[in-house]
Chain A
Amino acid sequence: MTGSFLVAELATVRLALPAADVRAVIEVTALTPVPLAPAHVAGLTAVRSQAMTVIDSRARVGLPPGGDGAGQLAVVVSLDGLSYALLLDAVHDVKACTQPPAAVRGGYGAGWDRVAVGMVELDGDPALLVDPFAFISGEARRAA
């Protein structure tokens, strides 16, 4: 996979998300918790009268859940007509990459294996290429 990638950060890991999958970057100002929800769901939020499920990306990769989510940055992706906001620690900018992603032998660690697709070189630094939809479904769809 080559093209544009959004560079972001989660738990000090540099991430690359395919820019084409990202609909928007938002700041989650208010979060409605969902009782009984699975751990990777932080709650619900609304952007321009559109409700979306907020995914606690840390919980999804097996890390302890982040804070209450309010004030955190998130990228919005759409799956099956529904929108989801993936909480991230920081969102940097969009970079182009011409090299295909490389698989890392031995995997990325138990939690990251659920979302990681491979490594890409962006501006000379490696970044972990993740499938944003895997944060929602819990399974990377495009294994490299």
Chain B
Amino acid sequence: MDDLLTDFIAEVREMLAGCEEAIVAWEADPADRARLDTIFRFVHTVKGNCGFFDLPRLAALSHAAEDALGDVRAGRRVADADLVTAILAIIDRLAELTQALEDGEDLAAGNDADLIAALRPDGQPVPARQQPEDPPAAALAPTSNQTTSRSIRVPVELLDEVMSGMSDMVLARNDFDRRLRVAGASAELDSAFARLSGILADVRGSVTRMRMNRFDQLFLSIPRLVRDLAHELGKQASVTFAGGDVELDREIMELIRDPITHILRNALDHGIELPEVRRAVGKPVAGTLAVSARHSGNEVCLTIADDGRGIDPQRIAAAAVEAGLASAADVALLSREQQLNLIFTPGLSTAGQVSAISGRGVGMDVVRANLQRIGGNIAVQSVAGERTEFHLTVPLTLSIISGIIVETGGQQIAIPQSYVTEVVRNGGGNMAHAWAGDTQLVAYRGVHIPYLALHEVLGLPVPQPGRQPAALPRTVIILQTGDDERFAIGVDRISDHEDLVVKPLGPDLMRIGVYAGVTLLGDGKPILLLDVRGLAQRHALFAAERHGLAMQDREEEQAGAAPAGDMALLFTGIDGTERAVRFAALERVHLLRAEQIDCQGAQAVAAVDGHLLPLHGLAGDRPPAVFSALCLTDGGRRVLYAVAAVGDCIAIGALHTADPHDRAHEGLLLVDERPVRLLDMTWLTGTAAPARHDHQLTCALPDDQWARTILAPLLTQAGYRIALPGSGQADVLIALDGVLPSASGERVLHLISDAHGAPPGAIHRSDRGRLLAMLAEITAGARA
């Protein structure tokens, strides 16, 4: 709190210096209203601020003075000479105390009761100003200050000037660096330059820190806001803080002030319940808001939590449907978390009624847009009836970012380093690449993620004529924009890695939505900075309506979606018949191509993510070239069901039995006067392949005849996945006689064909029972 106290002292000094003239003038003319107001503001501010410190004497003095002056302002009292003298005595005492505070003296000793008593209309007047020869501000002049001040106040403009000079210096350094490299400078010159670069980096760090503000600064205004709002709403709430010492660029701090205020307003208005409601549900009568900040790499994470009623994802989803932002079927397919995060969709309002506190036209979409504009983001989590948490991330500083410069289609573009998780050199063209409808996907660490060829999305010419446009370029960059939002872009090459000074672009160019700004390279050439989030949004890579293509697991999210058990999803089959399936059985929607299907046998099968799954719903028809298939599960087994279109999600009401011999359907549902058959999952999975448990572990095998022909089928039969050659990543590596598979993984199992000289823990390759037991143990460990 030391810095804060220093700020407080500095502010009091500044205000005292400012109202010195007012004090003198007011003494001469107590009826002067403008002077009175100035002095009132001073004591009011001192009172307000010293509430954050343990300064009872300052608080009591300023409070008493504020009360008396308030009476004068309200016309309840006339400012007579005695009052003026008493007030001036108090201001002098405040100045003295502030000085003592700065000198580190103990303020507890001393009594101000006489001064406070003198303020009362009937009080004993203070005989005289205690130091009449010493005007109050004189004692405060820095020159008369014996101890050296530990901080100085600098105009923000000056800091900005220094920062912008710093930016230019970085540019000049980059230019110098480039010229040195071109000229092939001597080692001596290089080392001198390296030294200069090092110093520059240090100074840059210091300058950046100069612009840093502690979160305490932001937190200061919150308790008052919360108190006032809670009062207005007839609620009780307190607020706690953590991480006040975390620092953030002051510019960003200003930019996140409004979003934070907005979230706090929402929390009080919609989150925290009325005291009687809270009592009824067994919560403490006063709600708690918790604001905490912490560093995380190049970002600051801010959490704003309340212990209110939480947000109901189904209500959000319903509001989104009502507002026409998504169809019922779309939102039904979203996970709980995704439904919750619909509150950031423009045009969505869930407030039952617009209140004076929130719902004033500034929605959560604006909050998110403002955060994203500065390279931050926001997400929400909530437990119904218990709590809501908003997680904000913001970059540490705006001015200089580190970035990589890529080349594509003859154009150089900068990409902020913070989004780049990996650069994959696709030298041998070994990255798996697939199409799902119009969306391109690449396999990255065993998961399919959306892929964009940068030159294509920017409308640039094909980089290497003659190559198929569908082929992956040599360099693929994996970008991460959120927890489960990853995508890949392909570029020709990465040409450099630099500190970039980012300047804004004109509105015409910002509006395109894929550029975040412009930056100058070392040679002074301007290049565009890619807006990674904007690019993902422009291509709707993670938008709600594209959920069917998002290859993310929904298994653990299914557990939370308990009410879905009573819901059914309507769909139209390939044969044109409308059917329904229990929503809980739906795992995801796949887009399949005819090549993935085998329908030679009695049971059609489809290859999906390296598995063969039974495919229903074709009914002897030839499969269309591309179609959607529901991936259904009864918890263990998975089957696919081909569909022509996915419809609405409905609640399952009465189930009618029409045909006792129809074992494929549980019965008939009445949907808007139409009979719709509900698929029977047990029938579907019963006709599926022999029962087996899918352990989900992926095993990589060495390239060996025995491993391919004996071991692989054995493991597949037992429910383990086999890593495809070249997929790079596996849960378990199985080594045979010390030969490791060409993949990376954490666990290694050693198999041996000869027991002599075997490493400890090795398993003989014919010991099938022990191998499966070891794998089961790893599975159990992975689930724990």
Contacts and interface: CB of A to CB of B under 8 A. Distances in A.
Interface of A: 30, 32-38, 40-41, 44-46, 49, 51, 53, 79, 82, 84, 136
B756 interface: no
B514 A53 contact: no
B169 to A, nearest CB: 11
B459 interface: yes
10 nearest A-B pairs in the assembled complex, by CB-CB distance: A35-B458, A51-B526, A44-B526, A51-B518, A46-B526, A53-B506, A36-B512, A32-B526, A82-B506, A46-B524
A49 B512 contact: no
A110 B405 CA distance: 42
Contacts of A34: 509, 512, 515, 528
Nearest to B454: A35
A38 B506 CA distance: 12
A33 B455 CA distance: 13
Contacts of A35: 411, 458-460
Nearest to A45: B526
Interface in B498-525: 503-506, 508-509, 512, 514-515, 518-520, 524-525
Interface size class of B (residues with CB under 8 A): 20 to 34
Contacts of A30: 525
A78 to B, nearest CB: 11
Contacts of B526: 32, 44-46, 51
A49 B520 contact: yes
B459 A49 contact: no
A39 to B, nearest CB: 11
B736 to A, nearest CB: 51
B615 interface: no
9 contacts: A34-B509, A34-B528, A35-B411, A41-B509, A44-B518, A45-B526, A53-B506, A53-B509, A79-B506
B538 to A, nearest CB: 9
Contacts of B503: 51
B289 interface: no
A89 B1 CA distance: 63
B508 A41 contact: yes
Nearest to A83: B506
B527 interface: yes
Contacts of B508: 37-38, 40-41, 53, 136
A34 B529 CA distance: 11
A69 to B, nearest CB: 13
Interface of B: 168, 171, 411, 458-460, 503-506, 508-509, 512, 514-515, 518-520, 524-528
Given A37-B509, A46-B525, 18 more contacts: A30-B525, A32-B525, A34-B509, A34-B512, A34-B515, A35-B411, A35-B458, A37-B512, A38-B508, A40-B508, A44-B518, A45-B526, A46-B520, A46-B524, A49-B524, A51-B503, A53-B505, A82-B505
Contact of B520 (A38, A51, A84, A136): A51
B457 to A, nearest CB: 8
Nearest to A38: B508
B528 to A, nearest CB: 6
Contacts of B504: 82
A82 B504 CA distance: 8
Contacts of B505: 53, 82
A90 to B, nearest CB: 25
B532 to A, nearest CB: 15
Contacts of B515: 34
A36 B524 contact: no
Contacts of A33: 411
Name, among A35, A38, A79, the residue most crowded by chain B CB atoms within 10 Å (CB to CB): A35
A84 B507 CA distance: 12
Nearest to A33: B411
A32 B528 contact: yes
Contact of A84 (B459, B506, B518): B506
A80 to B, nearest CB: 8
A105 B171 CA distance: 52
A45 B526 CA distance: 6
A117 to B, nearest CB: 21
Nearest to B455: A35
A114 to B, nearest CB: 14
A62 to B, nearest CB: 17
A44 B459 contact: no
A33 B528 CA distance: 9
A141 B463 CA distance: 43
Contact of A44 (B512, B514, B528): B528
A67 to B, nearest CB: 18
Contacts of A84: 506
B165 to A, nearest CB: 11
Contacts of B168: 49
